């Protein structure tokens, strides 16, 4: 499925996105406490795509915070169903950070790295291949 278009959206389909790019820039599992809060889970599964290649239909609400490195990270979620859909980061304005659980085909996500594992919940299962 690697040559398939990347599409996805929130649980209620009010927000939908399509990427013309089929190859992510980076794929990562982020275990930081902010991602735990924003997803309500153990980590954020993030697929990084070029912003220029993605079309988002529907309006997200963003919750922003300043990361320790000074970048402002904005977690975008559907204001109707609450699903996390994608994030933005002022340090990388040309990228968009898709929450991989929102993909129509979640098999398109293949994480290559895990970050902020020192903040992981003790009940999280860290993948030794990624650390």
Residue numbers 4-33 binding Zn ion by CB under 5 A: 10, 12, 14, 30, 32
60 near Zn ion (CB under 5 A): no
Residues between 98 and 117 with contacts to Zn ion, criterion CB under 5 A: none
Closest CA to 44 of 85, 2, 9: 85
Residue 73 found at the interface with Zn ion (CB under 5 A) = no
Select 52 or 121, whichever has its Cβ closest to Zn ion. 121
Contacts of 77 (CB under 8 A, 6+ apart): 10, 38, 60, 61, 62, 63, 83, 84, 85
* Nearest to Zn ion of 4, 65 (CB atom): 65
Instruction: Please write down the HEC assignment for all residues of 17-64.
Output: EEECCCCCCEEEEECCHHHHHHHCCCCEEEEEEEHHHEEEECCCEEEE
Does the footprint of Zn ion cover residue 80 (CB under 5 A)? yes
Phi, psi of 101 (to 5 degrees): -65, -15
Tell me which H or E stretch contains 98.
strand 95-99
Q: Which of 28, 35, 56, 60 binds Zn ion (CB under 5 A)?
A: 35
Closest separation in Å from C-beta 74 to Zn ion: 12
Q: Which is nearer to Zn ion, 53 or 119 (CB)?
A: 119
Select the span of 48-56, 74-82, 89-97, 102-110 touching Zn ion (CB under 5 A).
Answer: 74-82
């Amino acid at each position: 499925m690697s040559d398939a278009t990347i599409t996805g959206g929130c649980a209620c389909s009010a927000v939908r996105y399509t990427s013309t790019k089929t190859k992510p820039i980076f794929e990562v599992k982020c275990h930081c406490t902010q991602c735990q809060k924003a997803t309500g889970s153990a980590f954020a599964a993030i697929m990084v795509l070029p912003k220029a290649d993605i079309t988002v239909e529907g309006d997200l609400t963003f919750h922003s915070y300043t990361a320790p490195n000074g970048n402002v990270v904005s977690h975008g979620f559907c204001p109707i169903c609450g699903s996390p859909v994608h994030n933005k980061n002022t340090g990388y304005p040309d990228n968009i950070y898709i929450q991989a659980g929102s993909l129509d085909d979640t098999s398109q996500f293949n994480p290559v790295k895990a970050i902020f594992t020192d903040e992981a919940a003790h009940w999280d299962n860290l993948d030794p291949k990624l650390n």
